[in-house]
């Protein structure tokens, strides 16, 4: 699992460097696909390279990141956007070395309107000068408009897709939503893959790795 996240980190960082991006949104089509844990682990993996990273929990309706990192959520993004707190008061510094976190904060009555105001634009501009990478965990694209609103303010987006959970047409619909925001799509993460021999992925990848890597460890030099 650790190696998978490291590989994912490398792929995203390469995509970001090619497309000159700093602010990246991670979203999914529907709840339960693993976007929040993916956002957290990608952020940790990026921070382990020595880069200065910020993770923002932009799911103002059903936040998760404060639970993952075991920090309080009394003050967060909603507090900053609502002008009830400053960035310095809301940020949790070094939740992991080189990784800062802004939790979602108290649930506001108008999440979409709050994310669509100029305060968020001002915050994003300021963060570009502070961090090497900013990862934003948003609500699912198929549930509310929040993720599409946030995508308009980001340089790029990554879609997390749970294997055997959502159909192709729903993934396609989510990608079309992102394209409408003119946010660059950096790629997709196939999550929750069953690699057992009985599953489709287990049979496909087992055959692939057996074919191309099966001789390693048997004394062959290739």
CA distance 83 to 123: 11
Q: What's the first-to-final CA gap in the chain, in angstroms? A: 26
CA distance 120 to 180: 20
Helix (H) or strand (E) holding 185: strand 184-191
DSSP assignment of 121-140, as one string? HHHHHHHHTT-SEEEEE---
Going by the DSSP 8-state scheme, the letter that residue 108 receives in this structure is: P
What is the value of pTM for the model shown?
0.83
**Each residue's pLDDT tens digit, 55-80:** 999 999 989 999 999 999 999 999 99
Nearest to 151 by CA among 185, 114, 106: 185
Tokens encoding 110 = 């108008």
**Each residue's pLDDT tens digit, 131-166:** 999 999 999 998 788 999 999 999 999 999 988 888
Tokens encoding 176 = 């079309």
Helix (H) or strand (E) holding 147: helix 146-151
Which of the given ranges, 57-66, 189-198, 202-211, has the highest pLDDT on average? 57-66
């Amino acid at each position: 699992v650790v190696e998978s996240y490291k590989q994912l980190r490398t792929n995203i960082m390469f995509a970001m460097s090619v497309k000159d991006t700093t602010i990246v949104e991670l979203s999914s089509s529907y709840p339960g696909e693993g976007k929040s844990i993916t956002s957290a682990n990608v952020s940790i993996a990026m921070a382990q390279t020595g880069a200065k990273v910020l993770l923002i929990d932009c799911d103002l309706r059903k936040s998760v990141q404060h639970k993952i990192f075991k920090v309080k959520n009394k003050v967060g993004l909603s507090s900053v956007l609502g002008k009830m707190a400053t960035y310095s008061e809301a940020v949790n510094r070094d939740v992991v070395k080189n990784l800062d976190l802004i939790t979602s904060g108290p649930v506001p009555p108008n999440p979409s309107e709050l994310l669509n105001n100029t305060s968020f634009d001002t915050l994003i501009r300021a963060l570009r000068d502070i961090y090497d990478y900013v990862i934003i965990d948003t609500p699912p694209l198929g549930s509310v408009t929040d993720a599409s609103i946030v995508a308009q303010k980001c340089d790029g987006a990554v879609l997390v897709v749970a294997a055997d959970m959502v159909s192709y047409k729903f993934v396609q619909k989510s990608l079309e939503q992102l394209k409408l925001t003119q946010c660059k799509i950096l790629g997709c993460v196939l999550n929750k893959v069953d690699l057992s021999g009985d599953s489709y992925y287990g049979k496909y990848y087992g055959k692939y790795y057996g074919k191309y890597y099966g001789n390693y460890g048997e004394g062959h030099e290739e």
